[in-house]
Structure 1
Amino acid sequence: MHASIDFEQLVTVVGDAVVVCDAGGAITLWNPASERIFGFTESEALGQSLDLIIPERQRQRHWDGYHKTMHTGETRYGHDILRVPALHKEGHPLSIAFTVAILYSPEKTVTAIVAIIRDETARFSEERALRKRITELENKGS
């Protein structure tokens, strides 16, 4: 029975980043895992734009989709895992995977978007190294 679950504690202790943004794109929730993954403290992130963690070349595409979702109340990414580049506070690139969900008011207007984010930088680097090694081995054999 979910009535006994402390949802604030859940968001705090979960290993994946939980980021909530309002209709205008300002960050309204930034859990400890978000801080660990992206390097920004909660106080640095709250009220800021997601541009904090979006590489410049991805921003236009991101915001086009974000505003469309806010306007229509629909996202084609509800169950799909998105894999995109992101930025750490120190400027180095990250590879992240995330799902999104939309939050609504009682009047059924969109109030926020939630992203559940996992850092896959290490896994992505390992896969790239393995692909490179396979190519080297294939070329050696021919």
Structure 2
Amino acid sequence: MSLLATAPDEVLNEPVRPGEVVGAGESAGVTEDEIAARFREEIGEVIDGISEDELLLIAKIFRNNTEMRRRHELGVFDGDLLLVVAEDGGENATPDERLRLWEPYVRGSIAAVGLPCRHTNLMLPEMLSRAWQAIAEWMETRRTEPGA
């Protein structure tokens, strides 16, 4: 399994309080307009061609997905994991520290690869290309390891 720059919510966030829908670092009561403005500020180059109505719909979906993510209880993955991490953007943890956050949730080995971008730029074509190359290389090493 491969994950793009994420960490277990139990480590990063407090438990969800009823009616609260927030993302990492946000406070309760953030509106779709505020989320849309943050999107424009952080990833405007990616979403430049969409309308305000479309952006507000994306913000609504983001809030819903954040709610679902925060309410989800992680299980344990029985396999190996490659964690693809954004290296820029003021993350508080190093790739190795983020890797260790996943140890309680993965029964197999865990590897990490860093990409030279912010988290919000992981979905840019050039970063996805680098991520796919790293995933392909990792998968190839898995095929050549004994017992893989």
* Structure having the larger proportion of residues in strand: 1
Q: Which has the higher contact order (CA 8 A, sep 6+)?
A: 2
Q: Considering only CA atoms, is the larger Rg found in Structure 1 or Structure 2?
A: 1
